[in-house]
Structure 1
Amino acid sequence: MNTLLSPAELSAALSLRDLTDPASGPHAMQLLLSAAVAALADSWPSRVSWHRDRPLVSTEDNYDRLGYGSAAITRDGRYSRYASETVMLRSHTSAGIPPALRALEAPDDVLLVLPGVVYRRDVIDRLHVGTPHQVDLWRIATRPLGEDDLLSMVDTLVRAVLPGARWRAEPATHPYTTSGRQIDVETPDGWVELAECGLAAPHVLRSAGLAGSWHGLALGMGLDRALMLRKGVPDIRLLRSSDPRIASQMQDLAPWRPVSMMPPVRRDLSLVVSVADEELLGDKARAAVDGDLVESLTVQAVTPHEDLPTAVQARLGTKPGQLNALVRLVLRPVDRTLTDAEANRLRDQVYAALHEGPHPEWTTH
């Protein structure tokens, strides 16, 4: 049985602003999304069908109807956020595809557009956040669609989102596609993943009642990363910043103008944990403090209880099966410098949330 979200956690998740939605106020992400959709619509004889569903979805649509096996690791509560045993916060915008397909009736050529916030338990660094934005772009038609059509779709999309960027398609496996690809784009720091795509798997179409002559192209893109690459934004947290110097730059697709960043504050923690998973630890850290204050959380070293000196075992109070993890916490608000007292308080909150040992070793002065 999965651990369920508390009413407070669920309320906080559902109140988060969706940067793709004009109803929540203008944002550069909407301009990027519109450019991508317009480029594809201009290339195809497809009508465009937008779907903005609530982020609470059935686990059946999020996993089963897309072909995820019952033992898929992504179903685990460590990675997905459950409101009940049958309802969850969507872990990808692909969760909206099964109902969107079921709503199709007459033979058609349609581009399904499904943008929004998704909910994950993820590492903390400048490119990742637990509530990123995605868009699923699926072309559904009664004419045959093959790999050449798929790669043409990718080329059109990259040209619209990142003009002039070089891209490559690497083989990838998804339960809801065949001939799957991971799309990477070249940046000054190397190749970075932009999207995943493939031909819509026959079982997904069939389960929605679209058997026989129906075909599809399926693509999912991370909008936060795409916008960061387009504008040259260095940190994903900046996309939601309320600092006027930053927020004003999130109204257009002009290149990022650097804003003075405050110095980082580093705190190293020695923790007793059962699992030294950066995604799980990062999610707990976000829940313990304002996630916008945490720049990164990384596991520096891990030592099993059995490999610790006896004196250290006693000091930490570790048990067989537990681990001693050395974790580096980097704190850096985007708009101010933390005082030592604030940094220590935040360190203590993160420590208390992550440490599973009987002997707490933190203290705030």
Structure 2
Amino acid sequence: MKNYLTPSELQAALSLRDLSDPAQGPHAMSLLLAEITTALERLWSIAVETHRLSPLVATADNYDRLGYSPDDVTRDSRHSRHVSPTVMLRSHTSAGVPALLDSLHGEMGHYDRLHAVPGPVYRRDTIDRTHVGAPHQVDLWRLKARGLLGSAELDQMMAAVVDAVLPASVCPDVQWRSTPATHHYTDTGRQLDVLVTQPDGSREWLELAECGLVAAQVLRGSGLDPRRWAGLALGLGLDRALMLRKGIRDIRLLRSENPEVRAQLLDLNPYRPVSVMPEVRRDLSLVLGSAAEADVELLGDRARTALGAEAEMLAALEIRAVTPASGLPTAAVERLRLTPDQVNVLLRLVLQPLDRTLTDGEANLLRDRVYLALHRGRVLELISG
């Protein structure tokens, strides 16, 4: 059974600023997106069309028409945000592609164009310094009629994207690789990784994008003959790309209201760290209905909802232990008044505002709000008084 967003939750999602859209104000993310599309435009000497689409999409466009199976786990409300049985907030910008392909049905001559579909996407996700519940993506689809596109063009595309995101003038030692990957709407799927140098000098492979040749069944679904049409599809996480480009370690900084931070998000120059506020940690002992509820994405989403505008203070949410009632000492079971099917979950919150120091009292209030939103037991353990 699906859970649907409340009107207030939907309104909050739709009011979120799209950092990739220059019409909503200047931001480094829109500058980076422009560099990426310009690089591909120059590479292939073709026109680029950017599509700013509503994040409300038909569930069929988000899943069925892109090759997802009816029982795919990503359809579950624990991972996606549904508005009704047939409408949802897109979980990837690829959801805008089926309608785009439909619009090409009448093209009878030569056609070769790059389509960019950027914007926020909405999903249940973990809470840490590299993940948020509404990250930005861009889908880049080169569609061509009366011509071939294959692995060679896909390699060109990956190389151009890496060079646009991490140019040699900024990252002279960057390397990239592609490894086989399976996607619902591509053939010859690839995962694009980059080897980057971390602030401590270590080298690490990080995923930058996923790509492949557009699958024949996706073309056929829009009435396009795969014998006549070909395509390349690449999906890129814009938050991750911008963090790599500027050397930003905490994804929350991309929406920071701190004037010192905001001023640095108007260009693509390396980020100069602003004074970091101290972390405050709070450990929670929760009772949940079952082990299945001990899901870091589900609990993270509930915590964000409980804190509302103050959710930006959550730097991390970590599950430390999950113990069934049968695995606890008798005294603990009695103190928590656990039933046999319930579990005890030890959860750690890391609270860290980006612009000020959090007092112990404020941290305790935030801790208790999260606790009340997540706890399913009959005994409450509040600490804020």
The TM-score normalised by the length of structure 1 is: 0.98
Match of 2:183 in 1: 174
> Which of 251, 260, 272 lines up with 1:257 in the alignment?
272
Which SS does the other structure have where 1:49 is aligned?
A: strand
Q: Is 1:113 the equivalent of 2:116?
A: yes
Match of 2:223 in 1: 209
Give matches, 1:1-365, under 5 Å: 1-104=1-104, 105-106=106-107, 107=109, 108-142=111-145, 143-164=147-168, 165-189=174-198, 190-211=204-225, 212-273=227-288, 274=290, 275-289=293-307, 290-365=310-385
Point out the more displaced range, 160-169 or 312-321. 312-321
Q: Deviations over 1:167-202 (max 9, x none)?
A: 111211111111111111112241111111111111
Which SS does the other structure have where 1:219 is aligned?
A: strand
Q: Cα offset for 1:75? A: 0.2
Q: Which letter does structure 1 place at the counterpart of 2:36?
A: A
Q: Cα offset for 1:40? A: 0.3
Task: Give the Cα separation in 1 of the matches to 2:210 and 2:249.
Answer: 22
Identity %: 59
Judge conservation of contact 1:288–1:349 (CA < 8 Å) in 2: yes
Q: Deviations over 1:8-40 (max 9, x none)?
A: 000010000000111110100011000000000
Task: Give the Cα separation in 2 of the matches to 1:272 and 1:140.
Answer: 52
Judge conservation of contact 1:176–1:204 (CA < 8 Å) in 2: yes
The TM-score normalised by the length of structure 2 is: 0.93
Q: Deviations over 1:303-355 (max 9, x none)?
A: 12221222222222223333211111000000000111100000000111111
Q: Which letter does structure 1 place at the counterpart of 2:157?
A: M
Q: Which letter does structure 2 place at the counterpart of 1:313?
A: V
Which SS does the other structure have where 2:71 is aligned?
A: coil
Q: Deviations over 1:49-84 (max 9, x none)?
A: 111111000000000000000110000000000110
Point out the more displaced range, 164-173 or 217-226. 164-173
Task: Give the Cα separation in 2 of the matches to 1:316 and 1:68.
Answer: 42
Q: Deviations over 1:244-284 (max 9, x none)?
A: 10001000000001100110000011111232111111111
Which SS does the other structure have where 2:355 is aligned?
A: coil
Task: Give the Cα separation in 1 of the matches to 2:336 and 2:64.
Answer: 43
Equivalent pairs counted in the alignment come to 365
Which SS does the other structure have where 1:228 is aligned?
A: helix
Task: Give the Cα separation in 2 of the matches to 1:317 and 1:181.
Answer: 50
Point out the more displaced range, 188-197 or 293-302. 188-197
- List alignment gaps of at least 5 residues for structure 2: 169-173, 199-203
Point out the more displaced range, 83-92 or 187-196. 187-196
Q: Deviations over 1:62-118 (max 9, x none)?
A: 000000001100000000001101000000000001011111231411101000000
Task: Give the Cα separation in 2 of the matches to 1:297 and 1:209.
Answer: 46
Point out the more displaced range, 300-309 or 147-156. 300-309
Task: Give the Cα separation in 1 of the matches to 2:333 and 2:152.
Answer: 59
Task: Give the Cα separation in 1 of the matches to 2:382 and 2:234.
Answer: 46
Task: Give the Cα separation in 2 of the matches to 1:320 and 1:223.
Answer: 45
Task: Give the Cα separation in 1 of the matches to 2:44 and 2:341.
Answer: 56
Q: Cα offset for 1:149? A: 1.2
Q: Cα offset for 1:242? A: 1.1
Q: Which letter does structure 2 place at the counterpart of 1:260?
A: S
Point out the more displaced range, 10-19 or 168-177. 168-177
Instruction: Please tell me the root mean square deviation across aligned C-alpha atoms, in Å.
Output: 1.1
- List alignment gaps of at least 5 residues for structure 1: none
Task: Give the Cα separation in 1 of the matches to 2:154 and 2:187.
Answer: 11
